[in-house]
Structures are given as C-alpha cells and as structure tokens.
Structure 1
Amino acid sequence: MRKPQIDYAAVFHALPGMVALLTPDLVYADANEDFLRLAGRSREQLMGRYIFDVFPEHPDEPAAAGMRETRASMLRVVATGERDTMALLRYDIEDRERPGRWLEHYWSPVNAPVLGPDGDVVLIVHRVEEVTELIHARGGPGNDRSARVLEAELYTRARELQELNERLRRTQARDREVALALQAAMLPAPTPVGHHRAAVRYRPAVGALNVCGDWYDLVDLPGDRIAVAVGDVVGHGLGAAGVMGQLRSALSAAARVADGPARALEALGLYARHVDGAESTTVVKVYIDWATHTITYSSAGHPPPALLHHDGTMTFLDRATDPPLGARPEHVPRPEASTAFTEGATLVLYTDGLVERRYEDIDAGLDRLAGSLVRHGQAAPEALADALLADLLPATGNTDDTALVIIRL
C-alpha cells in the first residue's frame, strides 16, 4: 500500500485554534487561518514583522502587561529550549477598521520550541486560546463577570499544572535513562570466574523514579577462589546509582587484598563513612574456595545467601549477619562464618527486591525462594536465574530493583 503524502503546510493552516510561528527574534514566519481570523490581521500584516509592532500594547490601559509577559515567555523558550505555558492575560488589540479603538481580549498562550539539527531553537510555536467569551458576561441573571474571570483563571491554572506534570515526567524519564545507563556500565556481564559457571541478572524497578542502587560483583582471587558480593544502596535515582558505583568499586578493590569477607566489609564500612548517601547500605560478601570446598561469608544487614546442596536440601547462610554500613557510630569488627559445600551445589545471592513484599513478613519471601530453588535447582545457572525471576517477581513488575547472582559450585 502506498504511503500517503502529507502536505504539512496545509495541515498547519487547517489546525483548529490560533497557531503562529515566530523566529527567535520574535518575527512572524507563518500563522494559520484561525490565528489570522481571530486576531483580525491579514497574512501580509504579519509575515516578516516583529510581533509587538503588529500587536502593540494598549497605551491607555494601566494594568497592561501582556507584551512584557509574552516577550519574557518567548525568550525563555529560546534560552532553554523548553515549552513555556503562560498564565491567563489580558491583551487588547487595536481595531483594524477603526484605529484608536481597542478591543478587549483575554488570551491563554503556550510557547513551544522547534529545534534545529544542532539543538538550537529555530522557531517558536505560539499557540493561543481565545478565552474572551469566557470572561465577558453574556447578559441575563447570574452571569457574573468576576466569576467568569475566576473560571478562566482556574482553567489556565489546570493547564499549567498539566504542563508541569508533563515536564516532570520527561525529566524523570531522562533521569531513569541516565541511571539505567550508569548501572549498565557498572554492572556488565561478568567475565568467566575460572572454570565455574555463573549467571547474573539485574531487573530495574517499574516506574520513572524507581531506579535504585542494587549491585553485584565477582572477583577472581589467587588459587581456585573467587569473591562474590551483592549490595543495595538506600534511595532511588541517579544519586543512589552513583553511590552504588563508588561502593562497588571500593569493595571490589578491598576483596583483592583483605584476608576474608569480614575484613573486606570493615574496609568498605570505613570508606562509606565519607560517601554521602552510603549510610544504611546492605551488602553480603562471600569467598568461595574450591581447594578446600569452603564458603566463607559476612553480611552487613543483607538478606542471607541461599545454598542448595547436591542432595536437594537448602540452607540459608545467616550465621554472620551484622548491621548495615554506617549503622554504628564507631568501628567494630564484623563477624564471619564458614560452611562446607560439595561439588554440584548451587549458591544464590540476591537483593531484597527478589523476596521482600510490602505488608508481608520477609520469611514468606524467603520460603518462596527456598521452594523455587528446590524445584528448579537442577537447571543450569542461566536457566535457573530465569526460573527464579519468573517465580518470584510480580508479572506486572516490581517496585524495587533486583540483583541476582547464581554460581554452580
């Protein structure tokens, strides 16, 4: 089917309502038919002329401020590249047929930018709603002029609120895109951890502002060992993502020189005291040693890792849990615990988005995780990661981020 050819100039001129195009110097470049008709000016009287030469302000109206406010709005659009919604204003127009006679008008304008390839404003779309009839009493009882003014003001304020909400939505969407890009850069797919199989997943929360500070990290250590961490920064958006990046990098470095997970978390805790927004971060650190078949772990207020044994039984590693980062006023050594594993076992680390639900005890979420892990535990790590997310996350999306690391031991 042939794609229809659209005459956009014809569409512009047929648009309902008053719409004009002006250059950044506030010179008319075009106007649609409704603008010409309702403004009482011909195309020849507008094109190529400065807006306030065509529509000067009423010289005998002491309250006149329409020209100043309109100019300020248009110049804001040129300077910022953002749409600007004006409050209701009175802007009288001189009668074209009777010079010296001014016609009272009330307008509700919106000015929006048209951007060129370089991002600069090349045109201003000036859309005006004529609300004079709303203001003028139509005669008869009950038609109060001040009530009409109030009605029009309320209408304009409602539209301004709608514009502000739309601007906030766009800002939130940009923040979310930047935060997700930042997290993607900081949380790449892991490099192979020796000859061991691992899978990682990160699922952002639904909603524009709900990008959080969840992270994971896998580090090769000398010998047949690796260090694994999962953490969760309190808060949302770019700030939380930035703190996450700092803490993840610091803990990754500490893991390479500390003699165990507790010492690594102690170093991270000292560093976190100097990072705004790091307080109350939760994190669990695990060292896996295949030479001794030992898991050593330490947790700073984080949900416990799950260990699925080769025989199908499951254990939560919860014997070395301490408060989150920054929860104590003074430095205190953190606890550490170890447990043995057999080849073929599976270790699962995760953030609270996988198991916590509002208005529900955390034990219910841990029970769901245990049941799902036992059901799907024989699957390969990649398939197991997908199965756990499908079982445990709401189909409509979660309100908290989720990080997940699965390692076949």
Structure 2
Amino acid sequence: MAEAGIDYAAVFQALPGMVALLTPDMAYADVNEEFLRISGRTRELMVGRYLFDVFPDNPGDPAASGARNLMASLQRVLATGERDAMALQRYDVESLERPGEWEERYWSPVNAPVLGPDGQVVLLVHRVEEVTELIKARGRGSRTQVLEAELYTRARELQEGNERLRAAHAREREVALALQDAMLPALGPIGHHRAAVRYQPAVGSLNVCGDWYDLVDLPGDRIGVAVGDVVGHGLQAAGVMGLLRSALSAASRVADGPAQALEVLGLYARSVEGAENTTAVETCVDWDTHTITYSSAGHPPPALLHVDGTVEFLDQATDPPLGARPEHIARPQATTTFAEGDTLVLYTDGLIERRHEDIDTGLNRLADSLIHHRGTAPEPLADALLLDLLPTVGTTDDTALVIVQL
C-alpha cells in the first residue's frame, strides 16, 4: 500500500495496546480505543486534560509514587529527546462508579518523543502495558504467586535504586557547577570596549560539561578572546576545563598569535588525562589595525556581525581538536578585518547543534538571530541569542557565549 493511502489516525486507534499522545505540557492530545477501554475513561474525560488530573496518585496511600515516577520519566524524555522505559509501577485508579474508591492497578509504561523539524520534542508517545491481572491473578499455584510478588518487589527496588542514583548525580552536578563557577573568570574591564559573557549549564545531572570562555588584555589596544569545550561530562570534565582554560589564558599572553597559543595548548593537553579531542578557538582583536586574527582547533567558527547586516563565519583557519594528531604540526591562522560597530560572537556547540540536524542548520539559525538583533548592545544581545537558540524544554549540552562590541 502506498504511504499516501495509509490512514494513520485509524491505525493509531486500532493499535492493540494502550497508547496515548501527550503534549509537552503533559495534556492528553489523543488516546486510542484500547487505552479508553482498559482505563475505563471516556475520550471527553481525557483529551485536552492534564495527565495527572485524570490519573492522580491515590491520596489515601502515603507510599503512592506512580504519578511522581511517571512525571520524572516524561521530563527525562523532554530533556533528552530519547525514549524512557519505566520499571513496573503500582498506579491505583479511582473508580468512576464508586468515587473515593481506588482500584489497585499495575502498569508497565514506555515513553518516547516525537521530534519536530527543529529537533525539539513536540509530542510524547505514552504506551502502557496493563499487567494487573498478571500480578493479582487468583487460583494460581503458590510458587507462581511468590514469583509474581518477588517480581514486583525487585521492580520497586530497582526503581528506588534509580532514584538514589539520580540523587547522587544531582549532587555531582551541584559540585561540578560550583567548580565551573569558581574557575570561569568574571568579566572584568577590557579597556573601553563592551563585552558580555554567558554560561548556560545543561539540564541533566550527568550533562554538566567542560565548556569555558576567556578574555585577556594584550599589549596595545588588543584583547584575546577564547572559548573551548572538553569532551565528557561531570566533575572530570570540569576539572580538565579548568586546567586547559588556565593554560590557554597564559599561552595567549606570550604566544606569537592564536595559532601558536593553540599549539602550546595542544602539547600541554597530551599530558592531561581527559583532554584529548578538546575543541577550542582563540582570537586576537586588534583595534589599532581593525583586524581579528584567529585559529580554531576543531571548534565551531566565531561569527562576525557586520554593521551592514551581513554575518561572516571565521572558518578559514580550522584544524583538528587538541591531541587528535600523533605528531606535532603547526596550526593554521587567518586574519579578517572589521569596522567600528561590528560584533564578534564566540560560542560552544550547545548554542547551535541539535540531535538529528546538520550543523549548517544551526549556523544559519545563529546568523538569522544576529541579523534580527543587529544594533543590540552585548548584554541584551547575549540574552536574546540564548532565548532564540536554546530549546525551550531544556538543553542536554552546556553553552558558553562571549560577545564583544568592536
């Protein structure tokens, strides 16, 4: 049958299992017939209503956790854009015929994302296997009942273990963020020039990364501006970030240009565990000559917003990330000119890259946003770029951003 001839709405309604579609706000967008039949609800009682208004936790059971666990699973799908299979849940349901009475139910849910063209989650597929009869079946042999009880107990233990693991990850995230905050420099004066910096951490507890930025005064009317991104997550990445940021900051003050500074950093990175394949870009802005000299180690290109509304990506001096080559080779360097009023933007990949999307799409999105906000001062421009470009639900990668008014 040709794809155009398939009635997908009819297919959805005929699915043999319980399936619902939820909006990112967790309201029912649609439910299939099997969901209505097994849950005992009507379409009018569900579609358009908040999930946890339709199926709240049993208020008479202090240990009830089905709603809380389901909420956590759906939020993980929204944040990561990946499916999440839940452990077996006891999730009691209020009887429609006898309000105030709650029926003991056991569910095995799986939640999956539906992604829009921009890579963001636009719908959640909520599939449920009803296993109440399996758990509560009467008349079976005692060994079967023991095995079923043990199955439920093990599932609850697994769930509790996952909750403890998430709590430990949350503590690690707090420590990593505190470490990053201590090591990333506060924006100090850079002569008479205006600049803005931002650091936006990832949403997930395991996704705190090693992004960094740096601005340094150089002799003459010059400054060095750099950003970098360490591969990995958590405390180790944050620690490596601190070492590399400090090393590049020192090298940029004495090196003969950005390429040589990255060469020195690459040699140093070979001795730092976890520094392999770090990306970084170093720029030198010279107001006396109105030039920007730059070199990139596998990093997304800086953007130069010209006063005429055009955007130039500084991509003519790109080399592999740090430590990617076994032998030492001099890194490339390029120079471009700027006019008074231009704006230089350096960033890490969290600002532009999205899962299942070509990087050019993200670069074009950045250029469009810069053109739209042309003439905006660095501080409000930084806020506008984050608002325009970061997902509304949450990010799974850190973002560092530096904006310099030229």
Show the counterpart of 1:378: 375
Which range moves more in the overlay, 280-289 or 147-156?
147-156
| 1:185 equivalenced with 2:185 (yes/no) | no
Deviation at 1:16, TM superposition (A): 8.4
1:250 to 247, 251, 255: 247
Pick aligned residue for 1:294 from 284, 291, 295: 291
Match of 1:339 among 336, 341, 355: 336
2:277·2:324 contact (CA, 8 Å) conserved in 1? yes
- Is the radius of gyration larger for structure 1 or structure 2? 1
Counterpart in 2 of 1:272? 269
Q: Unaligned regions of 5+ residues in structure 1, if any?
A: 1-14, 18-140
Deviation string 1:172-192 (CA, Å, 9 cap, x unpaired) is 100111111111111243111
1:256 to partner: Cα distance? 1.0
Helix, strand or coil at the partner of 1:349? strand
Deviation at 1:286, TM superposition (A): 0.2
The superposition leaves residues 36-86 of structure 1 with CA deviations (integer Å, 9 ceiling, x where unpaired) of xxxxxxxxxxxxxxxxxxxxxxxxxxxxxxxxxxxxxxxxxxxxxxxxxxx
Percent sequence identity over aligned pairs: 77
Which position in structure 1 is the counterpart of 2:306? 309
150-159 or 207-216, which moves further after superposition?
A: 150-159
Match of residue 158 from structure 1: 155
Equivalent residues in 2 for 1:22-33, closer than 5 Å: none
* Residue correspondence of structure 1 range 41-80 to structure 2 within 5 A: none
Q: Could you tell me which residue of structure 1 aligns to residue 347 of structure 2?
A: 350
- CA distance in 1 between counterparts of 2:231 and 2:62 reads 49
In the alignment, structure 1 residue 403 sits paired with structure 2 residue 400: yes
1:225 pairs, out of 207, 222, 226, with 222
**One-letter code aligned to 1:236:** H
- In 1, Cα distance between equivalents of 2:389 and 2:308: 23
Matched residue type, 1:260? G
Secondary structure, counterpart of 1:245 in structure 2: helix
Which residue in the other structure is 2:320 paired with?
323
- Separation (CA, whole Å) in 2 of partners of 1:297 and 1:377: 23
Return the offset for 1:253.
0.8
Distance in 2, Cα, partners of 1:154 & 1:357: 39
1:179-218 to structure 2, matched below 5 A, reads 179-218=176-215
Change (3 A) 1:16 1:312: closer
- Could you report, residue by residue, the CA deviation over 1:141-187 in whole angstroms, capped at 9, with x for unpaired residues? 94422223222322321221122111101101001111111111112
Q: Is the 8 A contact 2:185 2:214 kept in 1?
A: no
Distance 2:244 2:213 in 1: 11
* Contact in 1 for aligned 2:298/2:321 (Cα 8 Å): yes
Any idea what SS the aligned residue of 1:286 has? Answer: strand
Aligned to 1:43: none
Q: Deviations over 1:208-230 (max 9, x none)?
A: 11101111000111111110100
Counterpart Cα distance in 1 of 2:196 and 2:344: 11
Could you tell me which residue of structure 2 aligns to residue 263 of structure 1? 260
Q: Distance in 2 between matches of 1:294 and 1:314?
A: 16
Note the alpha carbon deviations across 1:298-347, whole angstroms, 9 max, x for none: 00011111111122222111110001111101110000011111111100
Q: CA deviation at 1:195?
A: 1.0
Instruction: Report Cα offsets for 1:69-124 as digits up to 9, x if no partner.
Output: xxxxxxxxxxxxxxxxxxxxxxxxxxxxxxxxxxxxxxxxxxxxxxxxxxxxxxxx
Q: Distance in 2 between matches of 1:290 and 1:348?
A: 16
Structure 2: segments with no counterpart, 5+ residues: 1-60, 64-137
Instruction: Indicate conservation of the 8 Å contact 2:196/2:378, yes or no.
Output: yes
Partner of 1:282: 279
| 2:359 maps to 1:362 | yes
Measure the CA separation in 2 of the matches of 1:388 and 1:153.
52
Aligned residues: 275
Residue identity matched to 2:247:
A
SS in 1 for 2:307: coil
Could you state the TM-score of these two structures normalised by the residue count of structure 2? 0.65
CA distance in 1, matches of 2:313, 2:144: 68
- 2:212 is paired with a residue whose SS is strand
- Determine helix, strand or coil for the equivalent of 2:295: strand
Task: Determine which structure has greater relative contact order: mean sequence separation of CA pairs < 8 Å that are 6+ residues apart, divided by chain length.
Answer: 2
Cα RMSD between the aligned structures? 2.0
Give, as a single letter, the amino acid of the residue that structure 1 aligns with 2:323: G
How far is the alpha carbon of 1:251 from its aligned partner?
Answer: 0.4
SS, match of residue 309 in structure 2: coil
Q: Deviations over 1:126-145 (max 9, x none)?
A: xxxxxxxxxxxxxxx94422
User: Residue type matched to 2:340 in 1?
Assistant: E
